[in-house]
Amino acid sequence: MMNDESYDDIINLPHHTSARHPRMSMRDRAAQFAPFAALTGHDEAIKRTAQDNEDEWAVQ
């Protein structure tokens, strides 16, 4: 377990701001953490397959 003195040397330093890279907008920053579909079209393919199978079962 850490003691409370672990960060005493840096805790009151000013926040670093890059001179080279402009600050990212809140919208762009939030987009980095937004959920995404790793398999684009996967949900639609499953729905289509389920619907095809339902149609097949209804005919029999």
Mean pLDDT of 9-28: 93
Buried-exposed string 9-19: b where 16+ CB fall within 10 A, e elsewhere: eeeeeeeeeee
Tokens representing 46 are 């499953």
Is it the case that residue 22 has pLDDT exceeding 70?
A: yes
pTM tops 0.85:
no
From residue 54, how far is each of 27, 37, 48, 49, 59 by CA, in Å?
A: 42, 26, 10, 9, 9
Higher pLDDT, 54 or 57: 54
Instruction: Give the tokens for residue 25.
Output: 């907008």
Average pLDDT over residues 9-31: 93
Per-residue model confidence (pLDDT) at position 25: 95
**Which has the minimum average pLDDT: 12-16, 18-22, 28-32, 33-37?**
33-37
What distance in Å separates the CA atoms of residue 51 and residue 44, rounded to the nearest whole number? Answer: 10
